[in-house]
Amino acid sequence: MKQDLRERYVYDVTRRLPESMRDEVAKELRANMDDMLPESPNEDDLVKVMRTLGHPRNLANEYRGTKRYLIAPEWMGDYLRVLKVVLIVFCTISLVFGLIENLKSPEADSPFLVVLEVFSKTLSGVIDSAFRAFGIVTLIFAAINLAGQRCKDLEKWDPKHDLPQLPEAHVIKINRAGAVAELIVGSIFGVIWIWLLYHHAQYLGWWESGVMLDPLFSETFVQTIMPLYLVSFVLGLIVSAAKLGYGEWNPIIAALHTLEQVFSIVVMFTFVGQPEIFTHGILQRGAEMFQMTSTELAQNIVKGLSGFFIFISLMIGIDLVTTWVKAIRGKKTTK
């Protein structure tokens, strides 16, 4: 119990420091605590030493050495961690709903100008949300800091109850930067593709001299694929959010990831399995360009898409095997 309490204190200090400093500081802190303890220490002796060393937040700031005054130094580590999370949440929500709102009624009349208009307006909204998140978090921590100065809470901390539990060893971490990028990119392209499918008769088709002569997809195909793609899009957002929340590979994340990937395969082969994907007008124009019949062109397109989707499915299969290996290995090493 004493060893566990000491390690929790060391962990609470070092987790607030840059990774490059953590091992060295941990060794030094353990040595200092050993020097301060009597020969046969009990838990009360250990608590007394911890109180002498001070709150982990203050001690980490002393080890860090650099002075940062936007927020009181003892709160800076917590401030930055919370700020990162709030920025991700605010910007992602602004991104998704901004895309939906701006795609409803664009003022431009050509696909390129529509994309440019939507991108600029959505980016402006995301930046505005980022500033709001920064302001809210900063004000909250400023209030916490002011209250802390008045009530001296940091001096009343109890090592037995206030120290965090040690993290499980050898868990396989999820790359948070990758998960954030996955969430943002998936949100952008997912919303754009849903909007294009919904307005396919206006923007996707055969264009000549700024006028669309024939739509690309048949109405029957769009009505079939749209609900499936919406489900796939929502699943992708849920899985990305779960990866950010858990931060490590485990059977729950692996199962969600598997469900998402398997469903994406279903959507892909539903896509090529439709009897009429493209309109007759677009096939006739394409057939004239490639000097073949419209039936031959449609068959060649479906064959090409089928081959591509089979390749993607193989890559997904490899990814799923890798995912479950990481999830099971992480589970075994934490027992």
CA 329 to chain centre: 23
Residue 248 carries which DSSP code?
A: B
Tokens of 240: 């990305």
Sign of the four-CA dihedral 95, 100, 103, 107: negative
273's enclosing H/E stretch is helix 251-273
Across 148-278, the runs of DSSP E, i.e. the strands, are 205-208, 211-215
Residues 29 and 158 in one domain: yes
Residue 321, in any domain of the structure = yes
- 79: domain range? 2-162
Is pLDDT larger for residue 45 or for residue 72?
45
**pLDDT over threshold 60, residue 323:** yes
Out of 139, 162, 185, a domain closes at 162
Q: How much is the pLDDT for 67?
A: 54
216 and 134 inside one domain: no
Same domain, 148 and 206: no
DSSP 212: E
pLDDT digits (tens, 9 = 90+) for 51-105: 888 888 888 878 876 554 556 666 677 777 778 777 877 787 787 777 777 776 6
Residue 224 shares a structural domain with residue 291: yes
* 36 lies in some domain: yes
Domain stop point among 103, 134, 162: 162
What contacts 280, CB < 8 A, 6 or more positions away?
A: 294
Specify if 259 maps to a domain. Answer: yes
Per-residue pLDDT for 28 more than 80?
A: yes
What tokens does 264 get?
């994406």
Map 153-186 to HEC letters: HHHHCCHHHHCCCCCCCCCCECCHHHHHHHHHHH
Q: What is d(CA 25, CA 10) in angstroms, rounded to the nearest whole number?
A: 9
Q: Cβ(9)–Cβ(161) under 8 Å?
A: no
Looking at the fold, whether 23 and 153 belong to one and the same domain comes out as yes
Q: Do residue 192 and residue 279 come from a single domain?
A: yes
Q: How many domains does the chain have?
A: 2
DSSP state of 278: B
Residues 143 and 238 both lie in one domain: no
Is residue 231 situated within a structural domain?
yes
**Is residue 281 included in any domain, yes or no?**
yes
**Do 158 and 191 reside in the same domain of the chain?**
no
Does residue 170 belong to any structural domain of this protein?
A: no
pLDDT tens for 107-148 read: 766 667 777 887 888 888 888 888 888 888 887 777 766 665
Do 213 and 134 belong to one domain? Answer: no
Q: CA 255, 261, 264: angle at the middle one, nearest 5? A: 140
Contact 331, 251 (CB under 8 A): yes
pTM: 0.53
Say whether both 17 and 150 belong to one domain: yes
The pLDDT tens digits of the residues spanning 167-185 come to: 665 667 777 667 777 777 7
Q: Are 16 and 156 contained in the same domain?
A: yes
Separation of alpha carbons 318 and 332, rounded Å: 21
Q: Among residues 138, 162, 186, which one ends one of the domains?
A: 162
Cβ contacts of residue 235 below 8 Å, gap of 6+? 259, 260, 263
Instruction: Single out the residue of 4, 44, 13 nearest to residue 158, CA to CA.
Output: 44
CA distance 65 to 234: 45
User: Domain for residue 71, yes or no?
Assistant: yes
Give the pLDDT confidence score for residue 294 in this predicted structure: 81
Which DSSP symbol is given to 217? B
Do 13 and 89 fall into the same domain?
A: yes
C-alpha torsion angle, residues 269, 261, 84, 156 (rounded to 10): 150
Can you spell out the DSSP letters for 76-105? HHHHHHHHHHHHHHHHHHHHHHHHHHHHHS
Q: What is the mean pLDDT of the chain?
A: 79
* 120/39 Cα distance (integer angstroms): 67
Strands of the chain (E only): list them. 205-208, 211-215
- 282 part of a folded domain: yes
Whole-number pLDDT of residue 259: 92
How do residues 184-216 score in pLDDT, each as one tens digit? 777 777 887 888 888 888 778 887 776 778 888
pLDDT at 152 over 50: no
